[in-house]
């Protein structure tokens, strides 16, 4: 018979064996957990996204290298800082609201936002995704940051490429229109002149021949004016701004002298008022183009049915701005054409033959010198152009 002592010894040996087995299993489990932890750590560290955890107050508990790089902190300095510190205002409010709801496990927070970098360099666009961690003793949240910088750059490049293509298409359309209008406007006076030459060849009456020659001269002058406007439009588009000290009195005097040789201008009463007490800097050539075309239009579209054709030119200048108003009592512009008159080759009326380039040239020149131009007109009563031109000091 076995003694009680032997029985206890056997039981003790059995327990010792079971304990050894449990220890080995625990060691294997710990090793497996350690390997799994190392695997997860490496996976998180080498992930392309920024991965961090925050507690229920929104304070950062852990963060991988990507997060540190996005925010400009080392891992040690980042721990304990509130995630809200790096978010823009709208996302801060939404994130705070998410935490206030307790971050229920089935809730998910997702937003595009800008992350503020420690060095105050440009904020980084990211996709922010936050989920509550399940089976967590204390409320914790997994935060994933996806850097959208490259995507945004690609999108910006695509948008720019699209805009450039649209601009090229617009230029091609305008070029087609330009070629059509130029060929049409050049062909009409040329065809008319050819016809007059044929008439003159068989005309015995010298007075009639002189009349035909005068008509030819008008056609050639019309061509010269048209070609001059086209060249001015082209030069204005390409040439850089030249800064000059401006005397509006001198510019207006020169223009008035040029118009004094025009028969149409001799039938117009000009009233000018120029008040300039300060130095003013702008592009003199473009100012002359602007004033010349506006005055020319006021003369060209005067109303022959009125007793007096009047053009008023008022210029007020200070050290920062020049205000220019040119008004007339001519035939005016119908309301539906007010938005179109600055388009190249657009004519609001067939009352007078023109190139259709003058007001487009005015608009282009005004834009070049950083100014603005507004039109106010009533059909059969008159037109006023108001310009505000800054001093380009």
Provide the CATH number for the domain around residue 84: 3.30.450.20
Per residue in 281-306, pLDDT tens? 998 888 988 998 899 889 888 888 89
Residues 279 and 172 in one domain: no
- Residue 163 included in any domain: yes
Residues 247 and 392 in one domain: yes
- Residue 19 included in any domain: no
Residues 106 and 169 in one domain: no
Integer Cα distance of 21 and 252 in angstroms: 109
Domain encompassing residue 330: 243-393
- Residue 76 included in any domain: yes
Residues 251 and 308 in one domain: yes
Q: Is the pLDDT of residue 317 over 90?
A: yes
Mean pLDDT of 234-263: 82
Angle of CA points 35, 38, 41, to nearest 5°: 150
Q: Is the pLDDT of residue 60 over 70?
A: yes
Q: Which of 177, 212, 238 is the last residue of a domain?
A: 238
Residues 232 and 163 in one domain: yes
Which range has the worst mean pLDDT, 33-47, 286-300, 378-392? Answer: 33-47
- Residue 334 included in any domain: yes
Q: Which of 109, 127, 147 is the last residue of a domain?
A: 147
Instruction: Please give the C-alpha separations between residue 277 and each of 118, 243, 255, 359, in angstroms, as whole numbers.
Output: 52, 19, 21, 29
- Residue 267 included in any domain: yes
Integer Cα distance of 288 and 248 in angstroms: 9
- Residue 230 included in any domain: yes
- Residue 6 included in any domain: no
Residues 298 and 314 in one domain: yes
Q: Is the pLDDT of residue 351 over 60?
A: no
Residues 228 and 247 in one domain: no
Residue 41 structure tokens = 């750590």
Per-residue pLDDT, 286: 87
Query: Could you tell me whether strands 309-317 and 268-276 are parallel, antiparallel, or unpaired per DSSP bridges?
Result: parallel
Which range has the worst mean pLDDT, 6-15, 26-35, 177-186, 240-249? Answer: 177-186
Domain with 267 in it: what CATH number?
3.30.565.10
Residue 382 structure tokens = 């008159």
Q: Quick one: DSSP state of residue 116?
A: P
Per-residue pLDDT, 233: 60
Residues 278 and 360 in one domain: yes
Could you tell me if 280 and 246 are in contact, meaning their C-beta atoms sit under 8 angstroms apart?
A: yes
Residues 249 and 378 in one domain: yes
49 contacts: CB under 8 Å, gap ≥ 6: 66, 144, 145, 146, 147
Three-state SS at 199: helix
Domain with 230 in it: what CATH number?
1.10.287.130
Per residue in 65-109, pLDDT tens? 888 888 888 888 889 999 888 888 888 888 888 887 765 555 678
Band (323; pLDDT cuts 50, 70, 90): very high
Residues 85 and 166 in one domain: no
Number of domains the chain is built from: 3
Residues 364 and 251 in one domain: yes
- Residue 326 included in any domain: yes
Q: Is the pLDDT of residue 207 over 70?
A: yes
Q: Quick one: DSSP state of residue 86?
A: G
Residues 223 and 247 in one domain: no
Q: Which of 147, 165, 194 is the last residue of a domain?
A: 147
Sheet holding 321-328, edge to edge: 268-276, 309-317, 321-328, 382-390, 372-378
């Amino acid at each position: 018979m076995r003694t009680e002592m032997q029985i206890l010894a056997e039981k003790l040996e059995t327990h010792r064996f079971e304990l050894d087995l449990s220890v080995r299993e625990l060691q294997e489990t710990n090793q497996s957990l350690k390997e799994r932890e190392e695997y997860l750590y490496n996976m998180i560290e080498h992930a392309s996204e920024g991965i961090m955890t925050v507690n229920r107050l929104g304070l950062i508990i852990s963060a991988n290298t990507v997060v540190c790089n996005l925010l400009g902190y080392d891992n040690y300095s980042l721990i304990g800082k509130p995630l809200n510190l790096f978010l823009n205002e709208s996302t801060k409010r939404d994130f705070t609201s998410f935490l206030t709801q307790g971050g229920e496990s089935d809730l998910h927070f997702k937003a595009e936002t800008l992350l503020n970098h420690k060095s105050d360099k440009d904020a980084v666009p990211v996709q922010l995704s936050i989920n509550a961690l399940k089976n967590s003793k204390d409320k914790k949240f997994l935060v994933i940051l996806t850097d959208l910088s490259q995507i945004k750059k690609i999108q910006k490049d695509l948008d720019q490429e699209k805009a450039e293509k649209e601009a090229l298409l617009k230029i091609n359309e305008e070029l087609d229109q330009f070629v059509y209008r130029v060929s049409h406007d050049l062909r009409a006076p040329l065809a008319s002149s050819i016809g007059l030459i044929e008439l003159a060849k068989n005309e015995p009456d010298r007075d009639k021949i002189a009349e035909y020659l005068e008509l030819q001269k008008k056609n050639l002058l019309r061509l010269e004016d048209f070609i001059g406007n086209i060249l001015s439009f082209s030069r204005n588009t390409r040439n850089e701004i030249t800064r000059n000290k401006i005397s509006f009195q001198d510019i207006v005097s020169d223009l008035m002298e040029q118009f004094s040789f025009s028969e149409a201008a001799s039938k117009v009463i000009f009233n000018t008022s120029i008040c300039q007490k300060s130095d003013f800097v702008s592009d003199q050539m473009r100012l002359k183009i602007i004033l010349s075309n506006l005055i020319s239009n006021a003369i060209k579209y005067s109303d022959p049915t009125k007793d007096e054709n009047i053009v008023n030119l008022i210029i007020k200048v200070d050290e920062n701005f020049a205000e220019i108003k040119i008004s007339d009592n001519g035939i005016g512009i119908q309301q539906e054409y007010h938005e179109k008159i600055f388009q190249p080759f657009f004519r609001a009326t067939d009352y007078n033959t023109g190139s259709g380039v003058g007001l487009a040239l005015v608009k282009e020149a005004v834009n070049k010198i950083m100014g603005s131009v507004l039109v106010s007109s009533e059909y059969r009563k008159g037109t006023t152009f108001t310009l505000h031109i800054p001093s380009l000091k």
